[in-house]
Amino acid sequence: MKYIIDNDMHIHSYLSSCSNDPEQSTEAILSFAEENGIKTLCLTDHFWDDSVPGASEWYKPQDFAHISRALPLPQAKGIRFLFGCEADLDKFRTLGLSKERISEFDFIVISTTHFHMKGFTLHDEEIKSPETRAKAWVERLDSVFAMDLPFHKISLAHLACRLIAPTREELLKTLSLIPEAELVRVFRKAAELGVAIELNSSDMNFEDCEADIILRPFRIAKQCGCKFCLGSDAHHPQQLSDALPRFSRAIDLLGLSENDKFVI
Ligand SMILES: [Zn+2]
Ligand SMILES: [Zn+2]
């Protein structure tokens, strides 16, 4: 059976400073889920654990006291509204999430592709060219895989993210430069660990002529046995609904079935 769009595991509220939209409330998010057949959803505001040194100025206010203001989450019959976060990896490959804190979250989105955070997520030499960006893309995933984490409640966010490179052209070049053998290696590891691969709404908003390049990592992930979850990455209410046709197209192009679904 074809993959049913019944989950959204990457949603921001107004508590993410890049949203700051009073309309993006947990009540509004839950109403959207009720009206659109979303059975499992997760709130994932940007987070850097204050017990992990090294937060950037942007991340400092996104601590647990701040994002947990969303609790308790509203609930509705037949829907699971989970509490999670979007965690990041700095240039020293330190995850901004302590062992003690992990149990506070139902689910964790890990971003390895926020390449735009100059001086924080990557060393200057790592963003010199599409070649170095492609290498960093692989190495940052390897760093996550080497951590002792509960991968059964973790997803890898936006692996074809526009933030990987300053222009569309360079993004496509970067993704093309990741060797096939490396993709097979990392996604075999991902499948073995049971970490979810996210189909991110923004990543899936591509031109037809870009499909081969953007979808290549995801096709290989599928072949390697990875499981997929959906992520609108909505910061505003409109982005929750914009995601649905993009998910649908990506599911068709990748030929995803219910067997390919990540279940938490
Ligand atoms: Zn992100
Ligand atoms: Zn996000």
How far, in Å, is the centroid of ligand 2 from the Cα of 79?
21
- 255-258: Cβ within 8 A, 24+ apart: 255/222, 256/2, 256/3, 256/222, 256/228, 257/1, 257/2, 257/3, 258/1, 258/2, 258/3, 258/4
How far, in Å, is the centroid of ligand 2 from the Cα of 77?
26
Residue 163 has phi, psi (to 5 degrees) of -75, -5
What gap in Å lies between CA 109 and CA 111, rounded to an integer? Answer: 6
Structural domains in the chain, CATH included, are 7-260 (3.20.20.140)
Contacts of 237 (CB under 8 A, 6+ apart): 21, 23, 24, 28, 32
Ligand nearest the Cα atom of residue 112: 1
Tell me which residue has tokens 């999670």: 84
> Per residue in 237-261, pLDDT tens?
999 999 999 999 999 999 999 999 9
Ligand nearest the Cα atom of residue 13: 2
Ligand nearest the Cα atom of residue 164: 1
Ion ligand 1 neighbours (CB, 5 A) are: 111
Given a contact cutoff of 8 angstroms between Cβ atoms, the answer to whether 204 and 249 are in contact is yes
Q: For residue 63, what pLDDT is reported?
A: 97
Tokens of 142: 């390897």
> Per residue in 72-120, pLDDT tens?
999 999 999 999 999 999 999 999 999 999 999 999 999 999 999 989 9
> Taking the CA atoms of the chain, what radius of gyration do you get in angstroms?
17
List residues bridging with 257 in a β-sheet.
2
> Per residue in 131-164, pLDDT tens?
999 999 999 999 999 999 999 999 999 999 999 9
Mean pLDDT of the chain: 98
Nearest of 205, 170, 157 to residue 47 by alpha carbon: 157
